[in-house]
Amino acid sequence: MLNIDSLERGIVIDHIKAGSAMRLYQLLNLDRMECCVAIIKNARSSKLGKKDIIKIDGMVDLDVEVLGFIDPNITIAVIDQGKIIEKKRLVPPEVLRNVIRCRNPRCITSVELGVDHIFRLSRGQEGQRYRCVYCEQEYQGQGTGEK
Amino acid sequence: MRHLIDPLDFTTQEINSLLDTADEIAADRKAFSQVCQSKTLATLFYEPSTRTRLSFESAMLNLGGRVLGFASQDSSSAAKGESVADTIRTVSCYADICAMRHPKEGAPFQASRYSRIPVINAGDGGHQHPTQTLTDLMTIRRRRGRLGNLTIGLCGDLKFGRTVHSLLKSLARYEGIRFILISPEELRVPEYLIEEALWAKGIPFVEAEDMERVMDQLDILYMTRVQRERFFNEEDYVRLKDTYILTPEKLRAARPDMSILHPLPRVNEISIEVDEDPRAAYFEQAQNGVYVRMALIMMLLGLSREGAKC
């Protein structure tokens, strides 16, 4: 198995659905960061079979809410002096702002310039869904949808 | 500051109080003729409308206020590409309250986020039409003496019919309401509304395609027009537009105290012979619409019968 050095100080995003790491990398704007970032694809996982992992060398502010929307099974470990000092479990955020876009052509967001794309979590019989706060249309895409 | 964007923006207590004021206005309109002196209503209608715009203008004029605005997108700065947010920020400088109709869903909500004056949603695409709902509730309450313990038949375009969506959400809050949703399969109530307004609250409902088979169960029959402007495909519109036409023959099975409502304009979904039937309440609705909009303007401006802030 490929070896990536352990982090002395940084963040490990683990249990990412295999194949989703690059999208996460973009959604979290990690491409704009100066620090060293390792993406591990298709790592062996007892739970998932295969998984992706992202390791960030250094402390950065992550939009954890976005991660909760993409996949609440993802885990985040904060490392300091080579030890895990915090583990974060994700929950789907109540509100998503400018993460996904409404695809309803009748929605004001399809024409209004500079509008915030806001979705709210709604809980129905068939589970949790995100609805556009403007037109109430349900978001149909995958969690790892386009930005 | 309060706005009316969604029919659920007001509690049932607030709606009852608003309908009480509307009833007082209906009983003595003159007593309210000076309430909005020196107040201005802006009517921002990005989509053609006769009834709703005139009803709002009539309401404000009846209250002694003034009215300004535009009646189509072409005659507004939207034609130059101005955003809703910018328009409302500007209009906030000219008026005390505004009523907005827009073909895009959520436009009045977007306006309310930037507005310094109360915004009333006067219809946004196929989404909501809360002031029509207030009109419908007033008419039902005046006809039946209550808003609960009723079997409501909603008929026609239940998918794009914004008046239906707003009415369904509102009535679902009252005790003992049961819905019969009459539509062709393609025009059924959107699933999110079924889920959130009905299933989640345990409101009994059935979906039906044949109007006549359920006619004898109804306390209220709410007819709607299949609207050409809501279809992207002309073929679908032509195929579905004449699915339901209410005639005196179809009304034979209806209860004598049933009320027929329609948000108007009507095309052919209610034949003109039905107009003479005492159960027809749709022109009464148009009259009630003015009273209820008067009460709403007063409420959002915080004005009492004497014109003082309350």
Q: Could you read off the pLDDT of A52-105 as tens digits, one per residue?
A: 999 999 888 887 778 888 888 899 999 999 899 999 888 889 999 988 999 999
Which pLDDT band, with edges at 50, 70 and 90, does B204 fall under?
very high
Asked if the model's pLDDT at residue A147 lies above 80, the reply is: no
Q: Pick the residue from chain B with its C-alpha nearest to A125.
A: B195
**Closest approach of B76 to chain A, Cα-based (Å):** 15
A125 to chain B: which residues are within 8 Å by CB?
Answer: 195, 199-200
Q: What is the mean pLDDT of residues B264-290?
A: 95
Do residues B113 and B173 share a domain? no
User: Does B59 map to a domain?
Assistant: yes
Please enumerate in sequence order all residues whose Cβ is within 8 A of that of B106, keeping only pairs 6 or more positions apart, or say none: A107, A108, A109, A132, A133, A134, A135, B124, B127
Which pLDDT band, with edges at 50, 70 and 90, does B97 fall under?
very high
Asked if the model's pLDDT at residue A1 lies above 70, the reply is: no
Do residues B281 and B188 share a domain? yes
Q: What is the pLDDT of residue B160?
A: 85
The least confident of A110-119, A134-143, B134-143, B212-221 is A134-143
User: Does B206 map to a domain?
Assistant: yes
B103 to chain A: which residues are within 8 Å by CB?
Answer: 106
Asked if the model's pLDDT at residue B277 lies above 70, the reply is: yes
**Which CATH number goes with the domain that contains B31?**
3.40.50.1370
Quick one: DSSP state of residue B197? I
Domains of chain A: 9-89 (3.30.70.140), 95-132 (no CATH)
Q: How far apart are CA B134 and CA B288, in angstroms?
A: 9
Inter-chain touch B106–A125, beta carbons under 8 Å: no
Do residues B39 and B140 share a domain? no
Q: Is B158 left (phi over 0), alpha (psi -120 to 50) or beta?
A: alpha
Q: What is the mean pLDDT of residues B91-106?
A: 97
User: Does B49 map to a domain?
Assistant: yes
User: Does B242 map to a domain?
Assistant: yes
Question: Three-state secondary structure along B203-269?
Answer: CCEEEECCHHHHHHHCCEEEECCCCHHHCCCHHHHHHHCCCCCECCCHHHHCCCCCEEECCCCCCCC
Lookup: tokens for B34: 């000076």
Q: Does the pTM of the predicted model rise above 0.90? A: no
Percent of chain B with pLDDT over 90: 76
Which pLDDT band, with edges at 50, 70 and 90, does A124 fall under?
low
Do residues B160 and B243 share a domain? yes
Q: How far apart are CA B40 and CA B38, in angstroms?
A: 7
Domain count, chain B: 2
Of these residues, B21, B43, B52, B151, which one is catalytic? B52
A131 touches chain B (CB under 8 A): yes
Inter-chain touch A108–B84, beta carbons under 8 Å: yes
Do residues B271 and B152 share a domain? yes
Residue B196: C-alpha distances to residues A6, B56, B169, B192, B193 (Å): 48, 31, 9, 6, 5
Q: Could you read off the pLDDT of B135-169 as tens digits, one per residue?
A: 999 999 999 999 999 999 999 999 888 899 999 99
Do residues B63 and B109 share a domain? yes
Asked if the model's pLDDT at residue B77 lies above 80, the reply is: no
B85 to chain A: which residues are within 8 Å by CB?
Answer: 112, 114-115
Between B236 and B75, the more confident residue is: B236
Do residues B56 and B200 share a domain? no
Q: Pick the residue from chain B with its C-alpha nearest to A107.
A: B105
Inter-chain touch A138–B125, beta carbons under 8 Å: no
Inter-chain touch A125–B126, beta carbons under 8 Å: no
B203 to chain A: which residues are within 8 Å by CB?
Answer: none
Do residues B112 and B167 share a domain? no
Element (H, E) at B113: helix B107-114
Do residues B193 and B101 share a domain? no
- Enclosing domain of residue B157: 130-285
Do residues B135 and B116 share a domain? no
Which pLDDT band, with edges at 50, 70 and 90, does B246 fall under?
very high
Do residues B243 and B296 share a domain? no
Q: What is the pLDDT of residue A3?
A: 60
Q: What is the pLDDT of residue A4?
A: 64
User: Does B2 map to a domain?
Assistant: no
User: Does B308 map to a domain?
Assistant: no
Do residues B119 and B166 share a domain? no
Quick one: DSSP state of residue B98? E
Q: Would you tell me which residues 171-200 of chain B have a C-beta closer than 8 angstroms to some C-beta of chain A?
A: 192, 195-196, 199-200
User: Does B192 map to a domain?
Assistant: yes
Asked if the model's pLDDT at residue A146 lies above 60, the reply is: no
Q: What is the pLDDT of residue B16?
A: 96
Interface test mutation site (partner A, options B6, B104, B169, max chain A beta carbons within 10 A)? B104
Which pLDDT band, with edges at 50, 70 and 90, does A125 fall under?
low
The whole-angstrom distance between residue B236's C-alpha and the CA centroid of its chain comes to 25
Among the partner-chain residues A125, A134, A136, the one whose CB lies closest to the CB of B110 is A134
Which pLDDT band, with edges at 50, 70 and 90, does B172 fall under?
very high
Q: Would you tell me which residues 9-48 of chain A have a C-beta closer than 8 angstroms to some C-beta of chain B?
A: none
User: Does B47 map to a domain?
Assistant: yes
Closest CA to B204 of B134, B251, B149, B241: B149
Residue with tokens 């007033």: B138
Q: Please list, residue by residue across B135-168, b when 16 or more beta carbons sit within 10 angstroms of its beta carbon and e when fewer do.
A: bbbbbbbbbbeebeebbbbbbbbbbbbbbbbbbb
Percent of chain B with pLDDT over 70: 96
* Residue B101: active-site member: yes
Asked if the model's pLDDT at residue B211 lies above 90, the reply is: yes
Q: Pick the residue from chain A with its C-alpha nearest to B112.
A: A134
Q: What is the pLDDT of residue A34?
A: 86
Q: Would you tell me which residues 52-111 of chain A have a C-beta closer than 8 angstroms to some C-beta of chain B?
A: 104, 106-111
